[in-house]
Amino acid sequence: MKIIQQWPAERQALFWQIVRYGVTGLFVTACQAAIYWVLAAVAGLHVQIANGIGTVAAVAIGYVSHNAFTFRGHGGRDGHAERGARFVAVALVSYALNALWVWLCVTHMRWPEWSPIPAMLFVTPAVVFLLNRQWVFR
């Protein structure tokens, strides 16, 4: 922690924002992945429908969580309506990426339903963090 305290204030703020994003993002992504897996593997829904339902739930949980916790005090130039619209646009990018992982792993490669979850947990959140930080919560 002493090393972090020696960083410039802007770098410290970014570091703690990434930490908050990791905590919040893991929770939101775990909710999405759990909903996807239960609906696909247990309930037998088509994998893309299960992914869509999981994504809708994650968007709602994510907007509230990221607005209140992850990006608190960051930006604030826009109202909730404009920020919310951009958040939904980024959520669509997230959905498209997760749909790609599901298609690639489950449909194309014929791997088990859980196989896209690592990409959902690590790749998609990294892309979404950059978009949220630079465009949504600016």
Residue-wise pLDDT tens digits, 32-91: 999 999 999 999 999 999 989 998 999 999 989 988 888 887 666 667 788 889 999 999
> Which domain covers residue 116, as residue numbers?
12-136
Q: Supply angle C-alpha 101, 114, 42, rounded to 5.
A: 120
pTM: 0.72
Q: Let me know if residue 2 belongs to a domain.
A: no
Whether 132 is in a domain gets the answer yes
Task: Say if 3 falls within a structural domain.
Answer: no
CA pair distance 96, 84, nearest whole angstrom: 18
Question: What are the percentages of helix, strand and coil residues in the chain, rounded to 5?
Answer: 80, 0, 20
Structurally, the chain folds into a number of domains equal to 1
On whether residue 7 sits in a domain, the answer given is: no
Residue 107, domain member (yes or no): yes
Domain assignment present for residue 124? The answer is yes
Residue 31 placed within a domain: yes
Q: What is the pLDDT of residues 77-94, one digit of tens each?
A: 667 788 889 999 999 998
pLDDT tens for 108-133 read 999 999 999 999 888 998 899 899 88
In a domain, 5, yes or no: no
Instruction: Tell me what pLDDT residue 47 has.
Output: 92
**End-to-end alpha-carbon separation of the chain, Å?**
27
- CA–CA gap between residue 101 and residue 104 (Å, rounded): 5
pLDDT attached to residue 50: 95
